[in-house]
Every structure is written in C-alpha cells, then in structure tokens.
Amino acid sequence: MPELLNLIKSRQSARIPFDENKPVSQEDIQQILEAGSWAPTAHNMQNFEVIIVDDKELLDEIRDMELPVSETFIRENYLQLSFTEEELKKKKTGVLGTMFPKAWLDHIVTPAKESDKVPPNIIEQHNQIYPCPTLLVILYNPQKRAPASEGDFLGIMSLGCVLENMWLMATSLGLSVHALSSLNDDKAQSEIKDMLNIPEHLKIALSFRIGYPTSEAKYTRVRRDLSDFVHRNNYSEKSF
C-alpha cells in the first residue's frame, strides 16, 4: 500500500503556530482518538488516558506557564544537531539546529565537557508553546504495568504505538501535529495536574498540539537507508 507509506513519510512535528480561530472538528478528534484506542498495547492493558484541551482560557493559561529549559536538555540536544543541510544529509540522523530557538544556538555547548556550564540566560528562557485550537494531553498509567516487564518497558512501547496511531490519523485528516515534551518536566507536570485535575498516579506521557498551520512547516528530514541498519540471518550480513 504505497498510500500508507507516503502517509508515514509525510508525518512530522510542526513547530509553528496553528490558527487559533480554525477549530478542529469533533469528528476529526474522535477519529484520532479511535485510532489511538486500536493501537496494540502489552496484554491489551490500554495503559493510557487522554484529556482534550480546547478551552481558550485553559490553552492561554498553559501557554503562559514558565517552562525553563533544563541544562541537561541543552547539553544533550547538541549531540543530535547538524548546522547545515549537507551535514544532516551525511549523518542521516538528528535534526537541523535551525529548528530550535536562536538563543540556544548562540552558545555552542560541547557535551563532552561536563565542566562547561550552559549560559544562565539560556536556561532561564521559557519555551514558547505556539498557539493552537486543540491540545491533547496523553497520560500514562504506571499502575497498569505490563507483566514481567522491567521498568515497564513494554508499557512504554505500547504508548509509542498509541501516539503513532493518533499522529498518523491526524496527518491523514490534513491536520498538523506538534509533539510537546516540555509539559513532562516535574514542575510543569505538577502545574498541569492541578490545572486539569489529573489524578496523582497518572503521568503525562506526551502532549500533541493539533490544528491548521498559519505557515508552511519546511524541515529537511532524513532517514538512514535500509542498508545502514538491516541485517539478514546474522549481524555481520548486511541486507538491501
């Protein structure tokens, strides 16, 4: 099914503003959630909950939250960055540095030097959550741990399947998605839990900004070739 492969290839995280005045229909939201509900989960435990946030005041309150960037994120982020398209295409992994705020790029941090300190003005900068008409907050229930799965590895994998199903369905409906991890920070998570009345035992797995972009998201995207990671019968034998 080439259409499915093309859909998979077109999926991306759109780090741009969405039109706040163009709501996502309830029919589309329902299809996205249905897609998530049919994802495979370990032992069919369905270890997730979803909160739809489409109240403008709540969305504004979330956008106004102070979300300082952790030094660990800034330092480790540089391991994944390329600073030219040529470099990115050669590496075949990671992302372009231009996808991130300029302030992060003004000071190159060498991750190998643990003694190096990230400039405080970067740490204190707040992540801007761009406007959107709908935010889906996907919650993980660690009490539904997959049997004999250390660290609930299978449960975390299950969440990935749920998120991918939802993301692909949104893409198929002509919607843009931006995956947010900034609300997972302990302080932010505590505030969001109070704001949305989330039970203490649940954790925010990821949040999806969903909507119609006000501009085109143009990112150079790369993937390894099959010959880079596929082996046949034993690791020393490359395939494709």
85-94, 165-174, 216-225 — most confident range: 165-174
pTM of the model: 0.88
Q: What is the pLDDT of residues 2-17, one digit of tens each?
A: 899 999 999 999 989 9
pLDDT for the residue numbered 179: 96
For the segment 133-143, the average pLDDT, to the nearest whole number, is 96
Q: pLDDT tier at 55 (50, 70, 90 boundaries)?
A: very high
Helical pair 153-172 and 2-10, crossing angle rounded to 10 deg = 100
Domain 2-67+129-214: CATH architecture, name and number where available: 3-Layer(aba) Sandwich (3.40)
The residues spanned by each domain of the chain are: 2-67+129-214
Q: What share of the chain is helix, strand, coil (3-state, %, to 5)?
A: 40, 20, 40
Place of tokens 């660690």: 142
Q: pLDDT tier at 240 (50, 70, 90 boundaries)?
A: confident
Question: Given a cut of 70, is residue 115 above it in pLDDT?
Answer: no
Helices and strands in the chain: count of H runs, count of E runs: 10, 8
Using only C-alpha atoms, the chain has a radius of gyration, in whole angstroms, of 19
- Taking the C-alpha atoms of residue 234 and residue 168, their distance in angstroms, rounded to an integer, is 33
Tell which wins on pLDDT, 116 or 164: 164
Q: Is the Cβ–Cβ distance between 200 and 193 less than 8 Å?
A: yes
Contacts of 204 (CB under 8 A, 6+ apart): 137, 138, 139, 140, 183, 184, 189, 192, 198
